[in-house]
Amino acid sequence: MSLIVQKYGGTSVANETNIKNVAQRVVRAKDEGKDVVVVLSALGDTTDVLLNMAYNINPHPQKRELDMLVSTGEQISIALLTMAIHFLGYDAVSFTASQVGILTDSVYTKARILDIKKDRIVDELKKGRIVVVAGFQGVTRDGDITTLGRGGSDTTAVALAAALGAEYCEIFTDVEGVFTADPNVVPEACKLHVVSYEEMLEMSASGAKVLQLRSVEFGRNYGVKIHVRSSFVDVSGTWVIEEDERMERAIISGVTHDKNQAKITIFDVPDKPGVAARIFQALADSHINVDMIIQNVSERGLSDISFTVDREDLPLTREVMLKVKEELKAREVHFDQDIAKVSLVGAGMKTNPGVAAAMFSALAESNINIEMISTSPIKISCIIRKEQAETAVRSLHKKFNLDRVSRPHKESIGTGSAPGSQPANGLHQESGRNE
């Protein structure tokens, strides 16, 4: 009997009707002869409600206690879904992450999975039960509850699929898949049939919220096929799989944007070996992820260094950088929250010159100034003013004719519901997506 893992986001289980609909979908998979493991997020905007309560009580809560608080949301959703499955006449059992041994490090609110003790899940599956697991959370070796960060239920699901050797992992959300741009910004954006792990990694890292970055990393590292699809309509979505010769290699697969960025510039630091290491080691020690980095040309033995971080990390970044400023005797540190990152992603740009020139031309035609640039073999990202982000996305989508992208396979990769069923088409942030 084949095994699949299904993950349902907060909007998919936002109310009693939705929970019952999810239960119907789960038992349908069971009736098709599959073992089923289900991973759930908290109901609707539960996580945001709990976080707001926490910060109203204490503007600077300890991260350990935040994890204790927000992890309760998933315990509610897994119990309710299991009850709904029981009502349909099927045997199911719910587990928190600690009960099934999802072990993490102790970086609260951003924990990373270290190991999964799968024995308890396997034992329950052998009994014919549907297993329902709380997403977004884990436990340290000392028994402390942790959470995996925004979108963490995606990572829970793909990690479980890897550990259990699942046929594939379905990520059910409120959109139909991965699109060439956010449909809320570009109504004519096209749903993609299939994207490679590498493309999806770049999309997730540059603003597409449909999959958490670490879930895609798990998929790539362990060969887990991921199917992003809607829980509200019964259509095929977007398959995220290893690139192979049967894929059409579009030059550009999508345009992403991220308004949740901040740019930090430290001015007049000594231009000598070890200074950059000192700055970025201090940030790393505080578990702050840095994205784009630029160092200006040295003048008078001094230089300026600019970099970007997620805006939610800005308070801690400010604290760290003010200390670094004093240590390095830098002139000042400037913090800018009014920026956005816009990116082009596509495996085809590796073999097609002129993509960067076309991108910069499109932005110039829209009178958009570029403040920072970063590239990889399949991505070009630019930092621009936040208020121009949506204009930039529409301009780039039109420039590269992405409203005509269909991206089919040259031949069917297979048949049935797994990759190869001529999977249908996505890059839109799930509304209300908490974990």
Element (H or E) spanning 295, and its range?
strand 290-295
- For residue 173, the SS3 value is strand
Binding residues: 7-10, 47, 74, 173-174, 209-210
Strand arrangement of the beta sheet that strand 238-241 belongs to: 92-95, 130-134, 35-40, 3-8, 168-173, 226-230, 238-241, 194-196
Q: Are residues 359 and 382 in contact, defined by beta-carbon separation less than 8 angstroms?
A: yes
The CATH 3.30.70.260 portion of the chain extends over: 267-335
Per-residue pLDDT 10s for the chain (435 aa) are 799 999 999 999 999 999 999 999 999 999 999 999 999 999 999 999 999 999 999 999 999 999 999 999 999 999 999 999 999 999 999 999 999 999 999 999 999 999 999 999 999 999 999 999 999 999 999 999 999 998 899 999 999 999 999 999 999 998 899 999 999 999 999 999 999 999 999 999 898 888 999 999 999 999 999 999 998 988 999 999 987 654 556 789 999 999 999 999 999 999 999 999 999 999 999 999 999 999 887 778 899 999 999 999 999 999 999 999 999 999 999 999 999 999 999 988 888 888 999 999 999 999 999 999 999 989 999 999 999 999 999 999 999 999 875 544 433 333 334 444 333 333 433 333 445
User: How many distinct helices (H) and strands (E) make up the chain?
Assistant: 12, 18
Q: What is the pLDDT, as a whole number, of residue 234? A: 87
Helix 152-164 × helix 213-222 angle, to 10°: 10
- Ranges in the chain annotated CATH 3.40.1160.10: 3-174
Look at residue 433 in the predicted model and tell me its pLDDT: 45
Architecture field, domain 267-335: 2-Layer Sandwich (3.30)
Q: What integer pLDDT is reported at residue 199 of this predicted model?
A: 93
Q: If residue 315 lies in a helix (H) or strand (E), which one and from where to where?
A: helix 314-328
> What CA–CA distance (Å, rounded) separates 112 from 110?
7
Binding residues for ATP: 7-10, 173-174, 209-210
**Calpha distance 340→317 (Å, rounded):** 18
User: 127 near 91, Cβ under 8 Å?
Assistant: yes
70: left (phi over 0), alpha (psi -120 to 50) or beta: alpha
Q: What local confidence, expressed as pLDDT, does residue 405 receive?
A: 58
Helix (H) or strand (E) holding 85: helix 72-87
Which two three-digit tokens encode residue 385?
Answer: 């003013």
Task: Return d(Cα 173, Cα 81) in angstroms, integer.
Answer: 16
Cα 64 to Cα 108, 117, 314, distances in angstroms:
6, 23, 19
CATH architecture of the domain with residue range 3-174:
3-Layer(aba) Sandwich (3.40)
CA 344/CA 350 separation, integer angstroms: 12
pTM: 0.85
Give the Cα separation of 145 and 109 in Å (integer): 10
- What residues form the annotated binding site for substrate? 47, 74
